[in-house]
């Protein structure tokens, strides 16, 4: 069962902040993130979807192979996800699904097409920024043709995708951003007879803290 996004955001924050017990009085996150933070996407991130074509359906889970999350806060009370870029491993559809041969898609990148804005409450906890917002989710991709050449395909969009977002800091002060989205039903129209459906995305972005002298 899918939790409502507000509950998902709260759960993300509770999980990410587990063990957070900094010494002294840390700078509140809302102030710290007035200067944007760039976080690396970790291997804890995952993507699941169903590819549908000509009456056939195939569950796919391309690995997220890297990427970044860029976040900052604004003076008027928003947490912005300015950038989310997720390169994906290749996806191959079997023969008979859309062609008489296996078809491989490559150069796959999921990214935000618009900034993701999360309205923060008037009273913001010092160690967690949590909420929901929406943004277009864009797919860049190419087809590998019979000669092995990469043929760029048109961008596909899941408009106004709603995300749960939580930004926290661990005991060392390292930042972590968790983003989750789930789209029931058709997420992206690929062609007149094909689509991506039932997309679930969970992203973890982390900041590495370099110890002094290293």
**Where do the structural domains in the chain lie, given as residue ranges?**
5-16+32-206
Helix (H) or strand (E) holding 8: helix 5-16
- For 139-184, write each residue's pLDDT tens digit: 999 999 999 999 999 999 999 999 999 999 988 889 999 999 999 9
Let me know: does 179 contact 201? Beta carbons within 8 Å.
yes
Q: Cα 34–40–41 angle (5° rounding)? A: 120
Phi/psi-derived region of residue 107, left when phi > 0, alpha when psi is between -120 and 50, beta in every other case: left
pTM of the predicted structure, to 2 decimals: 0.85
């Amino acid at each position: 069962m899918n939790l409502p996004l507000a509950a998902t955001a709260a759960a993300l924050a509770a999980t990410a902040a587990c063990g957070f017990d900094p010494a002294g009085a840390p700078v509140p996150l809302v102030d710290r993130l007035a200067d944007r933070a760039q976080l690396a996407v970790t291997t804890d991130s995952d993507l699941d979807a169903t590819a549908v074509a000509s009456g056939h359906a195939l569950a796919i889970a391309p690995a997220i192979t890297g990427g970044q999350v860029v976040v900052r806060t604004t003076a008027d009370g928003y947490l912005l996800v300015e950038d989310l870029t997720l390169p994906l491993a290749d996806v191959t559809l079997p023969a008979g699904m859309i062609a008489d041969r296996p078809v491989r898609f490559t150069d796959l990148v999921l990214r935000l097409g618009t900034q993701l804005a999360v309205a923060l409450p008037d009273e913001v906890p010092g160690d967690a920024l949590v909420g929901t917002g929406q943004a277009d989710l864009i797919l860049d991709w190419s087809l590998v043709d019979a000669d092995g050449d990469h043929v760029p395909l048109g961008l596909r969009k899941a408009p106004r995708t709603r995300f749960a977002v939580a930004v926290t800091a661990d005991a060392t002060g390292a930042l972590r951003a968790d983003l989750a989205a789930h789209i029931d039903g058709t997420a992206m129209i690929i062609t007149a007879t094909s689509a991506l459906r039932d997309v679930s995305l969970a992203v973890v972005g982390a900041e590495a803290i370099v110890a002094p002298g290293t």
